[in-house]
Structure 1
Amino acid sequence: MKAESGTTEELSTKDKRHTIHPWADLATASTKGDHVIKRGEGYHVYDSDGKRYLDGIAGMWCVNIGYGNQEMAEAISKQVKELVYYTPFGAMTNNLSAELGEVLAGLAPGDLNHVHFTTSGSCAVDSAIRFVHFYFSALGRPEKKHIISRTESYHGSSYLTASLSGKAVDRTYFHYISDIVHHVSGPNPYRRDEGQSLREYCDQLVDEFEKKILEIGPDKVACFIAEPIMGSGGVLIPPPGYHKAMKKVCEKYEILYILDEVVTGFGRLGQFFSAEPEWGIVPDIITTAKGLTSGYQPMGAVIISDRLYDRISGSNAPKTACFTNGYTFSGHPVSCAAALKNIEIMRRDKICEHVQDVGPYFIKQLKRLERYEIVGETRGNHLMACVECNISGNKAAAEEKDITAAQTVDQFCDQQGLIVRPYEALLILSPPLIIDKAGIDEMVAILDSSIEKATSALRSKGLIQ
């Protein structure tokens, strides 16, 4: 019998027949069952069968103010009725784009006062690199174009940003830019050498970075790009002093520092931007997206310092000064309305202060899970965390049995109504920022139960002795 239109079976069939998902496993995409998420409220979502899930990943690091916010819906609706779109190219703008640019400049640290709007985090990072290339070429130094990124980083899925990203598992059958993109080791204190202190580990990473610059040639390296905390790579938190030390090396060789705050910006670490309050630096450029609109509309932005912009604008502009980069939907008025309302809600409801309150509680509660033999480490900062599974005993690299452990935990979490993000041997967590201590307790309780069940299942299969 044909499934009724709109049922889970019907929707899943349509989806598998026609839609290619990001990061889809093409070997199983046409047969594997789908989660059809239909509704959201607060920090929970509901599938097409009505089952409720605690959303432990905020959609994709982004639904910061939670689902179903009526103020946001009304702001978007109002703007659609007033002005749905107008071109942002050249000297054209719209009133909300102008207003949002000023607001973001006010939130950004130091002299980062110039905003270039994009449509996503990938586009923001891509545009930041294009600005850097434009900048040095405008100064008569076109050879200064090489980019240094890090292993286990993620910066997007455009041709350029996928090349910058350093997660080996993501590099499949695509082509990647290799002539001007270089990688150094990303910070992963869990996998540092036995007996090595965090200070020694930090010095090792900084030394490797400086050697890479000298290998390429300081006159050729344009910029270094880094996530404050490496998100989808496993919530990898750098050792103390890392960002300050890396920026000092950049300043020594006139290399621009791009801080990719696409994930960490807009409250995830308890600040609108974490650069200065959390890491003690003012980068040359910040990229942002995701939490900028809390996922209610697609949007990203590049925020650039006065000291860069002033050197290539006005009387300092090169003969042909047209910055030929941007998108049809840059500064889209509906997205701007969503971003402005999002910032208004976050400020009024003291969302960052709330994260500062519940974040340490979240990390403390997760630590309880380390009593299980399949858990190697729990780590995190405020509402950005990870549970790393390790049953192999190998801290140098995850083995297949470690990955199986994480996948097994994920399956039990799903059964019990918790969405986590499994990646290799990792279970990544980033709930909506409005989550309260009761929600955190629910999350940790489901994780606890799921890890216990997974431990028994893995032991029965002989993967744990």
Structure 2
Amino acid sequence: MTLDIPATTDAVLTADTHLIQSWADLDALKQNGARTVIVGAKGTRVRDSDGRELIDGIGGLWCVNVGHGRREIIEAITTQLETLDFYSTFYNFTHPAAAALAEKLAALAPGSLNKVHFGNSGSVANETAVRMLHHYNNRLGRPQKKRILSRIGAYHGSTHLAIAMTTPGYSKGWDAARELVHHLRCPHHWREGAGMTEAEFLDALAEDLTATIAFYGAETIAAFIAEPIMGAGGVITAPAGYHARMAAICRAHEIKYISDEVVTSFGRLGHFFASQDVFGVEPDIITTARGLTSGYQPLSATIISDEIHEVISGPGGAFLHGMTYSGHPAAAAAGLANIALMEAEQIPERVRVTGKRFEAALRGLIDLDLVGEVRGSHFMIGIEFVRDKAAGAPFAEEAKIGMKVAAAAQKRGLIARPLGNILILAPTLVLSEAEIDEVAGILREAITEVQASL
């Protein structure tokens, strides 16, 4: 059997007119048709349809942690498909791969987070977390305890509830379940601190949470959801001690703490999970996806505490939630192989060294006039461009400096992600020291080119 897959750039772009790209300016695509066709990948690089090798500076999309083309994962998927191609983990059915992966995730997750529900995306993982907590509160006789606290600058997905928990700027003109969500202040000290020290800003953020709880009433609030480091909101790091402080306030008011580790888990910050090991917090729920399989299969997980599971699994009602492909055998096999590979090669441990080198190399770009702030940690970095460095004055949104720098970088062999006037780097976790230096060199050249053109 031969698959009818287009082989030339023109043929791909002709077929692509039927494809709706996610998060794209669809009108702009109609007008100029500018697309990059990726046809192959190996290690830290991808290949476009013109034969150019490009460093994958966004790791597919925050996810190809172990690099492209790893035979260990590909063979695990193939073997699983040859043994059991598909059966869902619904009703009273299970299968070896899903059971084994759930057991492994429970062992890796902190504290009492021992129960796992699988989905197929980070959006689904976060929706699942909220649905579970709503049901949890119903079973405890607290049907009014449903509100979710999120943050301006957050990204938690694009389904109807997940997009409501996401920063409002990502849903302009689109509907969302906004009545369930309140957005707290963005914890970005550089932009939002207004002359305060970091410690004073942390106090202000804690007061914002406390005042919000008092305004709505703790009896109406189910959970606070937070990314350890905000990803698609611009790689925003909160003040030191922020997560532990916020979690303590939540715990004092019987509000559950959801740690959205869709991006930060599986080695990106040097640990399988960052919540406890990096930020000192044992959440009630961890959500994860992306690096769970390194993107080789679509899979997410919502990992909950024993206490929550005990309530929702008690007598008197079924667990009325799930997806057809929850715990798909091939996806679960990919997750198991991915984790085994990361453990065998000690990738999280390596990231604690190479990730800090990457971070330092990119922080070195701060001497450029166009660069206002370099932020983030390890292999998760955001670079914000400003029109006036001394004042930190931002460019107008329509300037799209991030897009211009990304284009200049891609011309030199590096894919980076533009976000307005910000550039995001989240590469594979297996970059060599030479490749780290190459990325920094390309970015310096690209930023200098755009700087000179303004």
* 1:251-400 alignment, distance < 5 Å: 251-313=251-313, 317-319=314-316, 321-392=317-388, 398-400=394-396
Cα deviation per residue 1:240-277 (whole Å; 9 max; x = unaligned)?
A: 11001100110111000000000000000000000111
Counterpart for residue 421 of structure 1: 417
Cα deviation per residue 1:93-147 (whole Å; 9 max; x = unaligned)?
A: 0111111110000000000000001111110001000000010001111100011
Contact 1:41 1:66 in 2 (8 A): yes
1:408 counterpart letter in structure 2:
K
Decide which moves more: 383-392 or 277-286. 383-392
% identical equivalent positions? 42
Q: 1:294 aligns to what SS in structure 2?
A: coil
Cα deviation per residue 1:158-179 (whole Å; 9 max; x = unaligned)?
A: 11101110151x2222112122
1:407 deviates by: 2.3
Contact 2:59 2:426 in 1 (8 A): yes
1:32 deviates by: 2.2
1:139 counterpart letter in structure 2:
L
1:312 deviates by: 3.6
Counterpart for residue 141 of structure 2: 140
1:195 deviates by: 3.1
1:80 counterpart letter in structure 2:
L
Counterpart for residue 407 of structure 1: 403
Counterpart for residue 242 of structure 1: 242
> 2: CA distance between counterparts of 1:323 and 1:425?
44
Contact 1:392 1:402 in 2 (8 A): no
Mapped pair 1:100 → 2:96: no
Contact 2:110 2:276 in 1 (8 A): yes
Residues 76 and 5 of structure 1, relative CA distance in 2, 3 Å threshold: closer
1:299 deviates by: 0.1
Structure 1: give runs of 5+ residues left out of the alignment: 459-465
Contact 1:389 1:402 in 2 (8 A): no
Contact 2:369 2:389 in 1 (8 A): no
> 2: CA distance between counterparts of 1:122 and 1:194?
33
2:300 counterpart letter in structure 1:
G
> 2: CA distance between counterparts of 1:35 and 1:193?
39
> 2: CA distance between counterparts of 1:174 and 1:5?
34
Counterpart for residue 83 of structure 1: 84
> 1: CA distance between counterparts of 2:399 and 2:105?
40
1:193 deviates by: 3.4
Residues 396 and 369 of structure 1, relative CA distance in 2, 3 Å threshold: closer
Structure 2: give runs of 5+ residues left out of the alignment: none
1:403 deviates by: 4.2
Identify which of 450, 453, 457 aligns with 2:453.
Answer: 457
Counterpart for residue 13 of structure 1: 14
* 1:122-137 alignment, distance < 5 Å: 122-137=123-138
Contact 1:403 1:426 in 2 (8 A): no
Decide which moves more: 294-303 or 431-440. 431-440
Q: 1:162 aligns to what SS in structure 2?
A: helix
Residues 54 and 413 of structure 1, relative CA distance in 2, 3 Å threshold: same
Counterpart for residue 439 of structure 2: 443
2:156 counterpart letter in structure 1:
H
Counterpart for residue 209 of structure 2: 209
TM-score, L = length of structure 1: 0.94
Residues 111 and 397 of structure 1, relative CA distance in 2, 3 Å threshold: farther
Q: 1:81 aligns to what SS in structure 2?
A: helix
> 2: CA distance between counterparts of 1:400 and 1:76?
47
Counterpart for residue 461 of structure 1: none
Q: 1:99 aligns to what SS in structure 2?
A: helix
Residues 401 and 375 of structure 1, relative CA distance in 2, 3 Å threshold: farther
2:255 counterpart letter in structure 1:
I
* 1:218-229 alignment, distance < 5 Å: 218-229=218-229
Residues 318 and 398 of structure 1, relative CA distance in 2, 3 Å threshold: farther
Q: 2:321 aligns to what SS in structure 1?
A: coil
Q: 2:349 aligns to what SS in structure 1?
A: helix
Decide which moves more: 430-439 or 106-115. 430-439
Q: 2:384 aligns to what SS in structure 1?
A: strand
1:444 deviates by: 0.3
Counterpart for residue 463 of structure 1: none
Contact 1:391 1:402 in 2 (8 A): no
Contact 2:387 2:393 in 1 (8 A): no
Contact 2:269 2:352 in 1 (8 A): yes
**Could you say what the CA RMSD is over the residues aligned between the two structures, in angstroms?**
1.5
